[in-house]
Amino acid sequence: MNKLNFNWILYLIAIVILATIGIQTYWNYKNYQVNKKQLVNSVQQVLDGSVNGYYELKAMNSTIGFSFNQDMDTEFFKDDGVFDSIVKEIDLARENFGNLDSVRLNTMEGVQVFRGRYADSLIRESHNPLNKSFNNQVRIETHDHELKDSIELKDFQLLTSKVILSISSDTLNIKQLDSLVGDKLNNQNLNLNFKLVYKALDSSVSHSKEEVFKDPLEVYSKSTFLPGGSALSMQFSNETMVLLKQSMTGIIISTLLVLAIISSLFYLLKIIRNQKQLAEVKNDLISNITHEFKTPISTIGVALESIQNFDVIQDKEKTKSYLKMSEEQLKKLNTMVEKLLETATLDSDEIALSKENFDLMELFDSLAEHYRISFPEKSIVLNKPDNEFAIVADRFHFENALSNIIDNAAKYGGSEISITVTKNQGKAYSIVIHDNGAGFDPSEKDKVFDKFYRVQKGNTHDVKGFGIGLFYTKAIIEKHGGKISIDLNKTGTSFIITMPI
């Protein structure tokens, strides 16, 4: 995958993420607007229902109806009779009929009493099964607090079987109404901060609460029970919090959906990036293997060609030299093939360790001597303790693992290499292989143990090897239950190995 295609995929993922976030944000916003309209409608219904309920409750105390037999009307309206007693109990200040229990209406035969705004309808239903209309009724209303001194019997000369008394007033107890509205809101789980504002006929304005809201929503009552020319409104705030609580499930689902999509896209991007890096490593490895294999193959080819074409077979010394050269190059090829096969074995976890007990210092003596001969220009110092350090490990693989570190230090490190082995409180061995070279960039510290990774220094072919040495070393040490780390400082590079005893 080339860089251009990768950039296009990156742009596409970014566009998809932004589009997903934008769509979900728009959807939540539209859902919020719909819920807001529904909330306003619910508040409107609560307000109108509370006003209707207020006047219904008020009518229960301010409207009373009487139904009686026609032969009872004279007794009902006689002086100091029942009707006079009822009139005396009218309390205009409180807009009710006071204590009617003292009138003893229930003791009168042939008289039925009905309370409430629909007393007239109830009387018709109970008095006439055919539901015929009665025109012979009298409705007494007063709009002031001046009660007549007396009510003459002639005022009811049209009355035949029923009387309706109703006390009406244009005043509204806004505190009582506020309580009714609060109860209805609580019943609908609408925890709103609100207040009522009532504008009476005389243009006076009263508030149910003194609280002042910032940018409140406001609805006006449409109840027909309100006095003509008056207006009642309800102001409320904190609707956003109420709407968020109502929409919390949708918001959470939307957020989880967005996060899931974004996570999936980032995971896809990570896979694509890893595949891109793997492709680059593969191409680099193929190029490097070709270069590494080409040298010994070319050398062997030249040696065989010389033996064949230049009649050097008669010269035993030259023949021996060419054969030795070919043998060394074949060993080099075999070593490289073995390393590749070992790496494949490590990946499949099929490598079997053949552990044995041996002296660790004897192993380091052998390795140090080998590299002193291979790199005579290097100073290799083994800080050797007096006592033996016995260890149980697979000697072949463990030797190869340590050899890879020393080999890297000799090839790419400084001129001085030191090997130090110590025992940590009798529980583990600490092995430090240090060189005084310039080392590498700290950003590559965790990458050097990755398979096929090689520290870049200019031309790719200037760095020999396949980038599998340290990967192999780390895998073998971890299979033995040990740990390996790198310490970079001003004095050079240190590979620190901890192995259990």
> What does each of the 501 residues of the chain score in pLDDT, given as a tens digit?
566 677 788 888 888 888 888 888 888 888 888 888 999 999 999 999 998 888 887 776 666 666 655 555 555 566 666 666 666 655 544 555 555 555 455 555 555 665 555 555 554 555 454 444 433 333 333 333 344 444 444 444 334 456 665 555 567 788 888 999 999 998 888 888 899 998 888 777 888 888 888 888 899 999 888 887 889 999 998 888 888 887 888 888 888 888 888 888 888 888 888 887 777 767 766 776 776 777 788 888 888 887 777 665 677 787 888 888 888 888 878 877 776 776 666 665 666 788 899 988 899 998 999 888 888 899 999 987 767 788 999 888 898 889 889 988 888 888 899 999 988 776 788 999 999 887 777 777 778 888 777 766 544 444 556 677 788 888 889 988 999 999 888 888 999 999 987
- Supply the pLDDT for residue 148: 43
- Supply the pLDDT for residue 237: 85
Same domain for 220 and 129: yes
Taking alpha carbons only, the member of 170, 226, 229, 218 closest to residue 50 is: 226
Query: Cβ(188)–Cβ(46) under 8 Å?
Result: yes
Same domain for 368 and 336: no
Taking alpha carbons only, the member of 176, 193, 58, 38 closest to residue 117 is: 58
Taking alpha carbons only, the member of 337, 326, 340, 339 closest to residue 296 is: 326
Query: Cβ(388)–Cβ(359) under 8 Å?
Result: yes
Query: Cβ(405)–Cβ(416) under 8 Å?
Result: no
In a domain, 93, yes or no: yes
* Residues contacting 161, CB < 8 A, separation 6+: 67, 68, 69, 70, 73, 127, 134, 136
In a domain, 397, yes or no: yes
Point out the domain boundary residue: 246, 281, 314.
Answer: 246
Q: How many domains does the chain have?
A: 3
Same domain for 155 and 20: yes
d(Cα 497, Cα 501) in Å, to the nearest integer?
12
Same domain for 318 and 368: no
- Residue 276's domain spans which residues? 266-343
In a domain, 102, yes or no: yes
Point out the domain boundary residue: 218, 246, 274.
Answer: 246
- Supply the pLDDT for residue 110: 54
CA 333, 336, 339, 344 dihedral sign is negative
Same domain for 478 and 335: no
Same domain for 413 and 321: no
Same domain for 418 and 310: no
Same domain for 278 and 333: yes
Point out the domain boundary residue: 343, 375, 403.
Answer: 343
- Supply the pLDDT for residue 71: 54
Same domain for 217 and 86: yes
Phi, psi values for residue 193, rounded to 5°: -85, 120
In a domain, 257, yes or no: no
Taking alpha carbons only, the member of 364, 368, 476 closest to residue 431 is: 364
- Supply the pLDDT for residue 132: 43
- Supply the pLDDT for residue 254: 84
- Between the alpha carbon of residue 404 and those of residues 73, 286, 395, 468, 469, the distances in Å are 125, 21, 14, 10, 6
CB neighbours (10 Å) of residue 227? 14
Which CATH number goes with the domain that contains 446? 3.30.565.10
DSSP 71: G
In a domain, 251, yes or no: no
Same domain for 179 and 38: yes
Pairing of strands 379-383, 390-393: unpaired
In a domain, 319, yes or no: yes
Same domain for 62 and 11: yes
In a domain, 429, yes or no: yes
Q: Tell me the CA end-to-end span of the chain in Å, nearest whole number.
A: 48
DSSP 156: G
Which tokens sit at 142?
A: 């007063």
In a domain, 87, yes or no: yes
Same domain for 432 and 305: no
CB neighbours (10 Å) of residue 76? 21
Which CATH number goes with the domain that contains 305? 1.10.287
Look at the chain and count its residues. Answer: 501
